[in-house]
Amino acid sequence: MKKYTIAAVHGDGIGSEIIPPGIAVLQKAADQIDFALEVDEFDWGAGYYKKHGDFMPDDGLERLGRYDAIYFGAVGLPDVDDTLPAMMYTFKVRTHFKQYVNLRPVQLLPGIASPLRNKGLDDIDFVIIRENNEGEFVQNGKIIHPDEPHGLATDTSVFTRKGIEQVAHYAFRLARKRNNKVTNVTKSNTLINTLAYWDRVIAEVAAQYSDVEYNQMYVDNASATFVLRPEVFDVILTTNMIGDILSDLGGSIMGSLGLGPSGNINPEKDYPSMFEPIHGSAPDIAGQNIANPIGTIWSGALMLDHLGEEKAANAIVKAIQQTTRSGIKTGDLGGSAKTNEVAEQIIKNMDQQ
Ligand code: NAI
Ligand code: MG
């Protein structure tokens, strides 16, 4: 029997309420399809930092590197400096393991009304591919004389030909498996160096996929289009920061931030990839068993798909759809189900497939 090893990093806030039900769903899929999952759980994050002075132990990356994949909640707490979580955990893992693709499906689920009036299941179904290792988020800058009248701060984006090419190839290959269309969301009319170069390199890659329709759209127009005409999108290819912002908008047009899944992917599989919901640690609702577990459970399906267990991944997505269709929803979607009740229903639906 095939066996996969998974590092489950709960993180903070609602992390320890959504990761355990997510693991239960994954184990159910493993039982049904006949593969084994060996899961080790870690309490790393901002809570760990308060006790130990770091978000993970010194050998944390080395330990994560031994697993086939990482299943992650979210990090960050209101009483911990919020510049630390990305630097000490999220970006650290994403860059160390060369997870240069951030994959974020935006797909309306049955039984859920999008806040976009008149938009249905056929209209909201696309994928955001966000460059995940460089761009605006390299944290390359300085704050100088912050308290002086002449205080100044810089953050300098970094875009490399290799970084742009590798994520572009992933997006075009993905489009071939979907509806054959890539939209580059950019802002090269004002970021005339970095994003002009981004556009140029992507256009070169696009020329190698003449069967895939290619166009580009400025991010201001793209934001409006998310709301007015989401049906024009198939695969969106965009930068680290633009993708971060657009994916919360994507989660919102799906009806809740609690629904959106994501994968931080190293396509070559030289390193483990990391799967997490698009939302944060939601400290405002933590500890109440009311968080929506679907973004996390769906992220687990992306993880199984990445590991090669496509059938198990599809079974989970189908069970999620059956659950939302039958009206079992958490409070963020106007329902009254608890976190564990939604997860239990998903497992029950898998049994009946
Ligand atoms: P957030 O995504 O945690 O919460 C935004 C709003 O959405 C809140 O009202 C929250 O209750 C709601 N929400 C989020 N997930 C939900 C779920 N599963 N079910 C129901 N409602 C849900 O974003 P916020 O408030 O900006 O950040 C909180 C903390 O999370 C910060 O420390 C931030 O740095 C961190 N964060 C961490 C991320 C990561 O680890 N990848 C990503 C985003 C934020
Ligand atoms: Mg975000």
Phi, psi of 148 (to 5 degrees): -95, 160
Could you give the CA distance from residue 36 to residue 42 in angstroms, rounded to a whole number?
20
Classify 118 in phi/psi space as left (phi over 0), alpha (psi -120 to 50) or beta: left
Say what the pTM is. 0.95
- Ligand 1 centre to CA of 279 (Å) is 5
pLDDT of residue 320: 98
Domains in the chain with CATH codes: 1-100+260-353 (3.40.718.10), 114-254 (3.40.718.10)
Is residue 345 predicted with pLDDT exceeding 90?
yes
What is the band of 154 on the pLDDT scale with cuts at 50, 70, 90?
Answer: very high
DSSP string for residues in 91-114? HHHHHHTT--EEEEEEEPPTT---
Kindly tell me if the per-residue pLDDT of 80 is higher than 90.
yes
Tell me the C-alpha distance between 228 and 248, whole Å.
Answer: 16
The CA-based diameter of the chain, rounded to the nearest angstrom, is 67
Task: Indicate the top mutation candidate among 281, 284, 332, 338 to test ligand 1's pocket, ranked by most ligand atoms within 8 A of CB.
Answer: 281
Question: Do the Cβ atoms of 327 and 335 come closer than 8 Å?
Answer: yes
- Would you state the pLDDT for residue 353? 84
pLDDT per residue over 18-27, tens digit each? 999 999 999 9
Query: For position 58, what pLDDT does the model report?
Result: 96
Q: Whose CA is nearest to atom 44 of ligand 1?
A: 280
pLDDT at 342: 98
pLDDT for residue 71: 98
Cα-Cα end-to-end distance for the chain: 22
Q: What is the pLDDT of residues 185-243, one digit of tens each?
A: 999 999 999 999 999 999 999 999 999 999 999 999 999 999 999 999 999 999 999 99
pLDDT at 92 over 90: yes
Residue holding tokens 């079974």? 315
CA distance 15 to 277: 10
> Rounded to whole angstroms, how far apart are CA atoms 164 and 241?
14
Average pLDDT, the chain: 97
Minimum CA distance residue for ligand 1 atom 23: 280
